Structure 1
Amino acid sequence: MNRRELITGAVGSLGLGLMTPAFAQEASEPAVMPPRIVTLRDALPAGEVHVAPDHFRLYWTLPEGKAWEYAIRVGRDDLYEAGEFYVGAKKKWPSWTPTPGMIEREPEKYEKYAEDGMEGGPDNPLGARALYLFQDGRGDTFLRIHGTNDVNTIGRAVSNGCAGLTNEHIKLLYKQVPEGARVVLYPKRATTRSG
């Protein structure tokens, strides 16, 4: 069994594919919902972040099988990276510099920020807050859980690999999640909406 099969099996056994409640929305409305506390089908350890990309949901786990549930956007195509991480840093109104991969894929959009990046603020792609994802032996992965002021991207696979919440929601999650918290990004099992 390879790592992908192991993680995919874990998703099924944890019930992440089944715990997202039905969410009715108009086709023209964004997939944003207020954060809420839900009951998980299978309890997970408290104090962890779990991202279910096929359902565009992030869960901050609580005691007694409960979790805060947030609507998110995820990485498009093969830019989404599944795995186990930890929060290695947290920043308010973080500055941002595109990765070399982003510049290579879309130079017309990102090359102007290659040298100096962009100061933190409302127009910054990382939004109001960011949780920086690290791995042992690798350090900073350049993956983030961060805010966005573009609420129309929530519920879609459009980012350069990061998980994004509205700026208001990331402010709440930022207060909840401490540095060092475990983060699990489950693999995509279905084609997710993009574009």
Structure 2
Amino acid sequence: MENFTRRKLLYAGMMGCLLPKTALAHKVKLPERFEPQLINTRRGDWLKGDIHVVPDDFFLYFMLEKGMAIRYGVGVGRKGLYEPGEFIVARKAKWPWWRPTNAMIRRDPQKYAKYKDGLEGGLNNPLWARALYLYNHVGRDTYLRIHGTNAPQTIGSAVSNGCARLTNEHVKDLYDRVATGARVFLYPKIATA
């Protein structure tokens, strides 16, 4: 049995306070692995404040200190729309305005053309409560976002138009933790399906 010192117990209690208190706030019951969890990534090269999205596992890691991270379940871009790379969170928005990209409108005009002039933030907006805007290394908006969703059942699947989505409650928690200027790493998909 491990010898628990006062320091270890205090550290464990402090780390427990870092986890979101919203894990069961949404109505859809996510598989346990997609609920926010404090984990040790054992990655010394993943730095505090960075975000790492591993699409084949459907996890987003928000890095804390010494390899520790809060791991969230995510939905990612469907085949042909997921774009790996390194990005910067250049902007954050609460209840963001949204407009489908021109490519989205061309792919599915029945679904998206009616929103060509945009949609105010709110419960009918696909970005829902929060959005992190990802820009490339030269400061150009990539139109990729990390955002909430009104379809929490899509967490753990590749269904989006390229963005990473979290439950609305989980993105609120992440939003409060992420600083503008944070680095975001979207890793390539390895699985072929």
Pairwise TM-score range, normalised by the shorter structure: 0.7 to 0.9
Per-residue deviation at 1:137?
2.0
- Does residue 184 (structure 1) correspond to residue 188 (structure 2)? The answer is no
Asked whether the 8 Å contact 1:30–1:155 carries over to 2, the reply is no
> 2:132 is matched with which residue?
131
Match of 2:89 in 1: 87
Deviation at 1:138, TM superposition (A): 5.0
Gaps of 5+ in 1: 1-28
Asked whether the equivalents of residues 30 and 153 of structure 1 are also in contact (C-alpha less than 8 Å), the reply is: no
Tell me the SS of whatever aligns to 1:175: helix
Q: CA deviation at 1:30?
A: 4.5
CA distance in 2 between partners of 1:92 and 1:42 (Å): 31
Partner of 1:21: none
C-alpha separation between the residues in 1 aligned to 2:192 and 2:175?
29
Q: How many percent of aligned residue pairs carry the same amino acid?
A: 56
**Is it true that 1:149 corresponds to 2:150 in the alignment?**
yes
CA-CA distance at 1:41 after TM superposition: 2.7
Query: What does the per-residue CA deviation read over 1:5-47, in whole Å, with 9 as the maximum and x for residues that have no partner?
Result: xxxxxxxxxxxxxxxxxxxxxxxx6446321110013222111
- Residue aligning to 1:52: 54
TM-aligned CA deviation for residue 149 of structure 1 = 1.6
Residue number in structure 2 paired with 1:41: 42
TM-score by length of 1: 0.81
2:173 alignment partner AA: L
1:191 Cα offset (Å)? 3.0
Unaligned runs of 5+ in 2: 1-28
Pick the structure with greater CA Rg.
2
- TM-score with structure 2 length normalisation? 0.81
Deviations 1:131-167 (A, max 9, x none): 0000122511000000002111100000000000000
Cα distance in structure 2, aligned partners of 1:171 and 1:30: 17
2:74 to 69, 72, 75: 72
Structure 1 pair 124/31, CA: closer, same or farther in 2 (3 Å)? Answer: farther
* Alpha-carbon RMSD: 1.5
CA apart distance, 1:107: 0.3
Please list the CA deviations of residues 47-68 of structure 1 after superposition, one character each: whole Å capped at 9, or x if unmatched. 1000000000000011111001
Alpha carbons 1:39, 1:67 under 8 Å: kept? yes
